[in-house]
A and B are shown apart, each in its own frame.
Chain A
Amino acid sequence: MASDDVLLSMRSVSKSFGGVTAVHEVSFDVHAGESVGLVGPNGAGKTTLFNCVCGQLRNERGDISFEGRPLDGLPTYQRARLGIGRTYQKVEVFTDMTVHDHLLVAERARRGTGRLWKDLLNMSAPTSEELAKVEAAMELVGIADMAETSVNALGLGHCRLVELARALAAEPKILLADEPSSGLDLRETAEVASVLRTVQRERGTAVFLVEHDLAMVGDVVDRTVVMDLGTMLADGTFDEVMANPSVREAYLGQMGAA
């Protein structure tokens, strides 16, 4: 990858909670249109790093920039509007809202075009362009048939797909997917993996994937970064990092490394 198409850059990012260092001096880049997997055992600091990128946590040291623009001090919603989309390890859907409305909220929030005066003049009805984007995102993820269903009536697998479609409706430049297969069966996991591949290949969206299911990671990503106890252990192709002894030790202990 050429260095000038760096989308997301992290340099010496550190974050601690009290005395516990969750992320320590982590540095790597995600390029435009690239698919990067971030793996590591529980407590490695993967979700904390995601939270620092999205602004839901503030990194104490280091720099994070997006398309060359430093993100320091920017609140979460402004980072989202720059083109950072996100799904969550613990499903975060909007209770009582239909699937269609989830996507409509996302589409409009990303552009920040909602205005109170437009609401008061009854000028907030969705435009045909917005509806088309919402429709396209639902089709892409395969949930168009449940557009008018309330998320209260959906199962975990469908809720994960709604989250994914919601993030994609805003047409992000990078999608941060946090353990999207968590709690899903094999068929549902394959569906999510297929959507992520399609998003990257057809839309050119960079995918930054945190995942415990290594088969899925190997299936989806171009490059894999491994973290353990807050530090970066390895960065390379999936096969390269899996062959790395320190990665094997982190996952399997001394026996595995041997």
Chain B
Amino acid sequence: MEHFLGFALPGIPYGCTYAIVAVSLVLTYQATGVFNFAFGAQAFAAAFVFTVLTENHHMAGWLAFVISVVVMSPLIGLAFDRFIFRHVPNSNTTAKLICSISLLVGIPTILPVIFGPQNLDDTATIFPFFNPNVVYFTVAGTPVNGIYLATITVTAVVLVALTILLRFTNLGLQMRGAVESRRLVQLDGVNSGGVVAVAWAVSSFMAGLAGVLLAPIFGTFQSDTYATLMVAAIAAAAWGLLRSIPIATGVAVLIGVVSTTLQGYLPTGSLLYSAVLPSLPFFVLVGALLFLPGMRALDSSRDPLATIDPPPPPTAVASRAPSMDRIIRILWYVVLAGFVVSMLTWIPNTWEGVFNSGLALATVFLSITLITGMAGQISLFQATLAGVGAFTAAQLANHLGLNMLVGGLIGALLAAIVAVIVALLSLRLRGLGLALMTLAAALLFDNTFFNAVSITGGAQGLSLQAKWLGTSEFFNFNGHALFILSFCVLAFCVFVVLLVRKGTAGRNLAAMRGSETAAAGLGINLTWQRITVFALAGAIAGLGGVLVTIQQQVVNAAQWNYAFSLIFVVLVVSTGVSTVEGAINAAIAFVVIQQVLTYLPARLGGNSLTIVLFAFGALQFAKHPEGVLEYQKRKGTQRFERLFFSGKDTRDEKNTRDKKDTIGSAVSTSGANG
């Protein structure tokens, strides 16, 4: 028994840290309706500023704590509410997810750009009442030090305070009402804007507290331990159906205890120890998603007053006059021909490489256009699928000497199979549930297959042993072979996506996006459509991954980890997820901006600033769900038409007239439409 307790007790502080994050997620979801992926970003911001103040400015710990956690964190929460989530309709799950993911991606990236990188592991001096280095007593032979006591005490205080706030105060009652519909509770005389703002401030304070407390243990946003923390917390919150604080806490502590107990009993060299044990939180999350019917209905709550929202704007293509369409199509062909000729003639090698990367990345991004743009679902493991394609092709090339093109096709097939398996597991999940399931799949891959040196070559990755075309100069196309390959693969994928969109599958997906109930009632096999779209998107992502590998001649796991899946979604959504051009624009803009930034000082170069630009672009999703570029395109089209086609009956004007004719009754249907 003492043996068991010796293994189990050290798990309690870990479980408590998971619990703090889990109940914070529950609080935010209960009070604002947002599943706050950005929680980690808020925690990071507080820990980062705390470290800057204590380490760089030698400020006293308590003062730094007051500034970063008590003052700054709630202000961040208020800013989130005021500038972002207040504008997101409660019924728009995609917009809520995209905004919180953008913040998760953007904030941890911009802080080091502003303040320079910090080592958060040094932040060990904030426990005011307990000394982390003193062993206060022992339980069953386990020494209990200040960190244990501080974590358990803080968790207990936080749990009691939150339970009282949500269950026994008038503010908690108003929060629970406002989460369904801010507008509805306003009609009852409640200042719902204020109530939700307070909820954001409180949850952000919790994030700050967690960040400063946990930074020494869990490091930064992209680290593995941080991912484990977030998934364990999400898993615990999920078992509590994002509602129950006691269940979330219990499951969180259980995950901590079971982890350390298994760690004690499993033989250290075994596969179970190295692969399954670190994946325990992911299995717990997947279990909740698979077996709890409540997780399937997470997004079912609809704002009863959503009917007063105007319908979404049409895309630029839909609103253009036919004559404009022709002009734009011709211009596109001219630009495309110009691009191809330039790439084959005068563009310098560096920039040819940049554009080649853009074309390869665009192929991966097209998979997001398929799933999010056409099927209306969010998948957070597209980078993983690209990685599956890339590693498969590289392994086949290195071990069997298979040509990268043939290996690439096999890689794409394997990526499609992986995508289908995840699709089959998540058939009943929608919106947030599907996003969580795909995120869990991405993290599971990062922890297992991508972590295995025999598969991915460890930190150095796999270097390709042979060029994809061999060494023959004849096939080298005067040094432009990579461009021709990337261009052809992308063109093929674009062609496939356009054909699918134009065909029966595209119409069926559009119908499913509008109403799954009605689509099934018409005879559309939703299961098959979903599997098809996942398989196609998986294959396309896999091909993109192979292209990137061919260009770079090396592939490693860090290139395709879960964080990139999040970043890719943010990139595509910020430009325009509903059109094929959106994916291409996103990829080309990303690589071009990245290249331009290399001319700036080192701290501003690289990925960071580019990701920040796109992340903040994606925040516009709340106001312009069609994407910023798509929005600008529509505006530009309207301006152009006013200048050159004034007096003619454009489609947009016609639509507007139709809307005015039926404005009274449109009010009552837009809710059902949305």
Contacts and interface: CB of A to CB of B under 8 A. Distances in A.
Interface in A155-193: 155-159, 163, 166-167, 170, 183
A155 B665 CA distance: 4
Interface residues of A, number: 53
B672 A91 contact: yes
B515 A96 contact: no
Interface in B626-671: 655, 658-659, 662, 664-666, 668-670
B669 A154 contact: yes
Contacts of A150: 314, 318, 655
Interface in A109-138: 109-116, 118-120, 122, 124
A28 to B, nearest CB: 22
B592 to A, nearest CB: 31
A152 B312 contact: yes
A257 interface: no
A119 B505 contact: yes
A155 B505 contact: no
A209 interface: no
A78 to B, nearest CB: 8
Which of B499, B511, B513 has the largest count of A CB atoms less than 10 A from its CB? Answer: B511
Interface stretch (B140-148, B175-183, B222-230, B523-531): B523-531
A104 B524 CA distance: 12
A119 B665 contact: no
A252 interface: no
Contacts of B465: none
A158 B669 CA distance: 10
Interface string B516-534: 0111111111100000100
Nearest to A183: B668
A214 interface: no
A94 B521 contact: no
B117 interface: no
Contacts of B294: none
Interface residues of B, number: 43
B522 A110 contact: yes
Contact of A152 (B520, B668, B670): B670
Interface stretch (A31-39, A41-49, A80-88, A217-225): A80-88
Contacts of A158: 662, 665
A93 interface: yes
Which of B513, B521, B672 has the largest count of A CB atoms less than 10 A from its CB? Answer: B521
Contacts of B662: 153-155, 158
Contacts of A114: 503-505, 508
B500 interface: yes
Given A77-B520, A80-B522, A156-B668, A94 B500 contact: no
B514 A94 contact: yes
A45 B544 CA distance: 52
A150 to B, nearest CB: 7
Contact of B523 (A77, A122, A153, A156): A77
A116 B673 contact: no
A106 B522 contact: yes
A247 B507 CA distance: 45
B312 A120 contact: no
A247 B665 CA distance: 34
List of 9 A-B pairs having minimum Cβ-Cβ separation, nearest first: A155-B665, A119-B503, A114-B504, A94-B514, A124-B503, A152-B311, A92-B518, A80-B523, A155-B662
Given A56-B517, A105-B522, A156-B668, 11 more contacts: A77-B524, A92-B514, A93-B514, A95-B312, A101-B507, A109-B522, A122-B503, A153-B655, A154-B662, A156-B669, A163-B518
Interface of A: 54, 56, 75-78, 80-81, 86, 88, 90-97, 101-102, 104-106, 108-116, 118-120, 122, 124, 149-159, 163, 166-167, 170, 183
